[in-house]
Structure 1
């Protein structure tokens, strides 16, 4: 009988740990998606930029001096100087026509192409930057596509909002599932909990072994979940590595740590709530 009971308890622990690990796998997937979405968002925003059109009478040395000053600004991710000759060559390659031969001169102006840091890639920041740059006597015009910047930021905002809502909903569902899993393991010992309370045991003394078990459930469950997640990431990297790099060490460490903390914390809270529930019940209610 004792051997059967031990097997039953061991089986219950295994099922609880496995159930928690499967929930944490889903949590880990969402966390990994959210973290990579931030990287993708920053990558898209880094491609937002503007052109500083320089006046025609400014020599190249002055323009490069201005470019060096711009490179020190926090809103600049990178900058490229395009001379009149380079601008004409690019224009000719795009249109396939030699407009200089027709006009007899090069009407294009030199420019400095700026790529923005993601934080400044919005119309409000660009308006402030534009006003500041136009005060420079070398600058004739600041050119960028306001509608494109607005569209990119709106799409990023919407996607981020959807992911955050999905994340919050999933965390709530995960907590409920883990709580139910822990509750089932505590349910079979509800009479023991009440008996210990009736003989004068303190609530902390009663809760302690259940909380310890639940912490181990969460720990081993998160370990299993992280192994599954890491295996999935390595597999996907082999399949799509040429398209996108999933092996970002910082993001993987954050994901692993989050899953570990989430598994232990949710299991601990769920265990405490389950035991407290039976401590607050009358003996007769335990039969329901």
Structure 2
């Protein structure tokens, strides 16, 4: 296919879009709505998985030291484990201050209610992967000078299972919603093709091949996909930006993914998906029509 042929096909596609303005608007609108729903669902799934993963990664292991234990030696042994990302030595006074903050009291108030500080010196261990917490805890229990090892096993385990479940459910639901989007798009394009059946028939009568007939429609499908993807992204990202600001201000404990890089990548992905759905929808619609004529 030479350059002049490509130019001719592009001109044909553009003329067809302008000539069939109402149908083109309907196709792009349907594409926009379908991609809007799919994008909103994907954003919700990505953020739910992110929140579950973030909460799981906040979990750490507390290694309580026995009286007279060499904290430096215990900490060095813990850092020697490749599964450990970092450690932090915490004195009993620091532990009591953190406990006071957790229950909404000042250090002085909590300390005044106790005959003595019951908390031991400890080392807080952050794992590289939260899934290794149980193994790290078992190894820490065997270190000389360690009195007790504590971590929230059940909560961390449930969060990891939740993150995995959201990921799997997101993939399955994404495939289902993608198929539904493709069905909507292909049906809309099939209606467009049917409305232009006389034009297609004339092209067949003058000897045009099926692929020559298909290409302008495929280019139109790609155009509708790009337009639908771009419009849906403007709406989705504007809504998401507002939601992020509202959540950050009123629900600070919830952390949504938000960055310029994420927005650009998500927008490019949505426009690419729109183009793919438009092209594939055109191919499927034309294949079904040309097979029956």
TM-based fold match above 0.5 = yes
Establish whether residue 174 from structure 1 lines up as the match of residue 181 from structure 2. yes
Secondary structure of the 1:99 match is coil
Aligned partners of 1:193 and 1:279 also within 8 Å? no
Establish whether residue 86 from structure 1 lines up as the match of residue 94 from structure 2. yes
Distance 1:213 1:89, change over 3 A: closer
Establish whether residue 18 from structure 1 lines up as the match of residue 29 from structure 2. yes
- Report how far residue 126 of structure 1 moved: 2.4
Aligned partners of 1:193 and 1:275 also within 8 Å? no
Aligned partners of 1:193 and 1:278 also within 8 Å? no
Which of the numbers 77, 83, 97 marks the counterpart of 2:113?
A: 97
Instruction: Calculate the TM-score normalised by the size of structure 2.
Output: 0.77
Unaligned runs of 5+ residues in structure 1 are 101-105, 283-288
In 1, Cα distance between equivalents of 2:46 and 2:89: 34
Secondary structure of the 1:36 match is helix
Aligned to 1:286: none
In 1, Cα distance between equivalents of 2:127 and 2:292: 61
Aligned to 1:54: 65
Establish whether residue 34 from structure 1 lines up as the match of residue 34 from structure 2. no
Aligned to 2:130: 121
Establish whether residue 278 from structure 1 lines up as the match of residue 286 from structure 2. no
Aligned to 1:223: 230
Aligned to 2:10: none
Instruction: Calculate the TM-score normalised by the size of structure 1.
Output: 0.79
- Report how far residue 74 of structure 1 moved: 4.6
Equivalenced residue count is: 266
Aligned to 1:103: none
Unaligned runs of 5+ residues in structure 2 are 1-15, 101-106
Aligned partners of 1:79 and 1:113 also within 8 Å? yes
Aligned partners of 2:60 and 2:127 also within 8 Å? yes
Secondary structure of the 1:265 match is helix
Aligned to 2:216: 209
Compute the RMSD of aligned alpha carbons.
3.0
- Report how far residue 75 of structure 1 moved: 4.3
In 1, Cα distance between equivalents of 2:112 and 2:173: 49
Distance 1:186 1:129, change over 3 A: same
Aligned to 2:196: 189
Establish whether residue 252 from structure 1 lines up as the match of residue 274 from structure 2. no
